[in-house]
Amino acid sequence: MFGLIGHLTSLEHAQQVAEALGYPEYANQGLDFWCAAPPQIVDHFHVTSVTGQIIEGKYVESCFLPEMLVNRRIKAAIRKILNAMALAQKADLNITALGGFSSIIFEEFNLKENKQVRNVELEFERFTTGNTHTAYIICRQLEQVSAQLGLDLSQATVAVCGATGDIGSAVCRWLDQKTDVAELLLIARNQERLQGLQAELGRGKIMELEEALPQADIIVWVASMPKGVEINPETLKKPCLIIDGGYPKNLGTQVQHPDVYVLKGGIVEHSLDIDWKIMEIVSMDIPSRQMFACFAEGILLEFEGWHTNFSWGRNQISVPKMEQIGEASLKHGFRPLLSW
């Protein structure tokens, strides 16, 4: 059996969906309450591959909320992730994907040093960040939607916001090695890491966000931001394809412009329905089939019997591993979301 550890996008979102999630008593509660709430298994479902194989999974709600980072409730945030992992392990889940901020908190606060959670010694090989599949899906979305829009990659400038991150750096590697993208613009805050990435790639221009956006034909947003930013579509090139892979979304408002195309990044659609309720709660357009690519990685590892932390650590994702998970993705009936 596999697991998915997830969280909601904001306190407001959590209050709205508390009832559907099975926590009616949390609906009117503030951040303090969510900081104290224990993780719970709130969904149990089956996934059928197009090969006919059927597997079983459980969804663990960690009760982490991005406001915990904004309000420096770091201990609470750490507790949420470790407790959710311990719960997944106690429930005998063979492989569990750490969705959204779960893996970011794990890395940022070096939780590999916290193996012992009360009476559970965490076995990290039972967990995956899901980032290899997420990066693969974002790259396939970029390749396929740019072709649909008539954007020629060999003439295109691609800006990657969050380029030095786990997903961002993998996207840069793929674009460099597997496509003929003309120009890569690398955006993040830490200059040393940007220079390291530029040296690794042997290309790419390091730029500030405001400088990069007006030059980009395609923008990939994969920054770990608890709250989205506002951008003015008038400053962008036309046409412009934006792939927003953040969770919560990196874009704070919906961009309304006929020549600016915003695609939900890192989302896959399965070929067959899944009997879960959780994707409705996170507002997928087709909740029975669409999901985050990181969750789909957990599903793929279970289908393939790869009970190992396929995606782990930071900035280790190679193009061959993206190809490997990509093959499994196609084999079991997943495809990247290509429409808005």
Which stretches of the chain bind ligand NDP, using CB under 6 A? 100-101, 103-104, 130-131, 134, 161-168, 187-190, 193, 222-225, 245-247, 266, 292-294, 314
Cis peptide leading into residue 24 (ω within 30°)? no
Residue 119 CB, shortest distance to ligand NDP, in Å, is: 29
Q: Which is nearer to ligand NDP, 180 or 285 (CB)?
A: 285
Q: Which is nearer to ligand NDP, 22 or 226 (CB)?
A: 226
Residue 131 CB, shortest distance to ligand NDP, in Å, is: 5
Q: Which is nearer to ligand NDP, 203 or 314 (CB)?
A: 314
Residue 41 CB, shortest distance to ligand NDP, in Å, is: 20
User: Are residues 237 and 217 in contact, defined by beta-carbon separation less than 8 angstroms?
Assistant: yes
Q: Which is nearer to ligand NDP, 222 or 240 (CB)?
A: 222
Q: Which is nearer to ligand NDP, 101 or 334 (CB)?
A: 101
Residue 25 CB, shortest distance to ligand NDP, in Å, is: 28
Regarding beta strands 2-6 and 95-98, do their DSSP bridges make them parallel or antiparallel, or are they unpaired?
Answer: parallel
Residue 190 CB, shortest distance to ligand NDP, in Å, is: 3
Taking CB positions, which residue lies at the least distance from ligand NDP?
165
